[in-house]
Chains A and B, each alone.
Chain A
Amino acid sequence: MRTKLAVALVLAGLLLAAGPAWAHHAFGAEFDIDKPVSLKGKLTKVEWVNPHAWIHIDVQSADGKVVDWMVEGGSPNTLLRHGFNRNTLELGTVIVVSGYQAKDGTNKANGKDITFEDGRKLLMGSSSSDNQTPAK
């Protein structure tokens, strides 16, 4: 019985060690690790929805036009654990978002982290926020 339990535990351990493959499900399907972006703009909308919260920012492009970008974060629960709440993410705040653009080239990105004007930095809790590099 003890041996069976030991074998079961070892197997479970091996399965859990395959963590990285699970942590980045679907990143490569939608976002491009080779298209990093740094977006500076005013926060216009926060969608506190599952499975991924989305933040919208108005980014001023080089030719002066204002473009709306939407950036994926973790779930609302994950964002809360990373220090975000409705007061941190006040509409109108200027933030810099670093992340990776969508594969289809639209103004959509997977958000890695947010830097505020006072220098504070918060991780967005999405696939690209972890230490491991997401799969292509």
Chain B
Amino acid sequence: MMAAAAWTVLAMPASSQTTPYRAPRTADGKPNLNGVWQAMNTANWDLQPHSATAGMLWQAGAAGSEPAGVGVVEGGEIPYLPAALAKKNANYANRLALDPETKCFLPGVPRATYMPFPFQIVQSAKVIMISYEYDGAVRLINMDSKKESPVDSWMGWSNGHWEGDTLVVDVTGLNEDSWFDRAGDFHSNKLHVVERYTPRSADTISYEATMEDPQTFSRPWKIGMPLYRHVEKDARLLEFKCVPFTEELLYGNLRKKQANNKK
């Protein structure tokens, strides 16, 4: 494992410009974030710094193994409370079975942002929609008066506002079942996420997310990464509805003769 102390800066490339970038405007004068975007890192494997390692399924060999990552957490380490750290380690030990991604549950926030799939931002004055290719996950960011969720849900409720050229999104109402990554990093249903989307160039957005959850962490902590625009001519979301892909896993044992039964 790489020493967390060696990676104390956010994985944000320095800008060569001296003046901040000014994005083109939408009709209502706000920075135009419309487009198809995607993160390009290994945050979905593990938010913290990590070496390359063998995958969870030996049958997949190199193809299923985990690439290295410098980590996207400011300061390197997620500040778990002691009891929560024990749970994270237990999660990690059994992550193939326990990770909600395995069963195609919705990724929650902020994991939806850095799943290895594109997402599309569709922007209007009162509502900004973020549509994720992964399992058709969708968020509606309410730009009007603040609304609070009456129930917990996988994707939570998002309220947004502009601070200068930055879209600030407040997310609450997240259930306790989603993970932050495949390494067992988790949270309670008291999690409060504040995202910041700032256009940094014509084809990149600077993305930050601050997590606050006094039941799980000893203090708020932050992740950061660039988001890259899909600039190919026919850039668009395709369909990734993964529930059918979990059928064998969830129900294969009900078949008289199992497909995965080697006998």
A53 to chain B, nearest CB (A): 9
Which residues from chain B sit less than 8 Å from chain A, CB to CB? 149-153, 173, 175, 189
Bound CA–CA A80/B150 (angstroms): 8
Bound CA–CA A76/B151 (angstroms): 8
Bound CA–CA A76/B175 (angstroms): 14
- Pair B151/A85 contact, Cβ less than 8 Å: yes
A44 to chain B, nearest CB (A): 11
Q: Binary interface profile of A, 78-91, with partner B (CB < 8 Å = 1, else 0)? A: 01100001100001
Is A48 interfacial (CB-CB < 8 Å)? yes
Bound CA–CA A79/B150 (angstroms): 10
Residues of B near A76 (CB, < 8 A) are 151
Bound CA–CA A79/B152 (angstroms): 13
With most chain A CB atoms within 10 A of its CB, the pick from B150, B152, B189 is: B150
A100 to chain B, nearest CB (A): 25
Listed by A's residue number, 10 A-B pairs whose Cβ atoms lie within 8 Å are A48-B152, A48-B175, A76-B151, A80-B150, A80-B151, A86-B149, A86-B150, A86-B152, A86-B189, A91-B189
Is A23 interfacial (CB-CB < 8 Å)? no
Is A46 interfacial (CB-CB < 8 Å)? yes
A residues 65-100 near B (Cβ < 8 Å) are 76, 79-80, 85-86, 91
Residues of B near A85 (CB, < 8 A) are 150-151
- Pair A48/B151 contact, Cβ less than 8 Å: yes
Residues of A near B175 (CB, < 8 A) are 48
Bound CA–CA A80/B148 (angstroms): 14
Bound CA–CA A11/B150 (angstroms): 40
Residues of B near A86 (CB, < 8 A) are 149-152, 173, 189
B15 to chain A, nearest CB (A): 41
- Pair B189/A48 contact, Cβ less than 8 Å: no
Residues of B near A46 (CB, < 8 A) are 152
Bound CA–CA A76/B153 (angstroms): 11
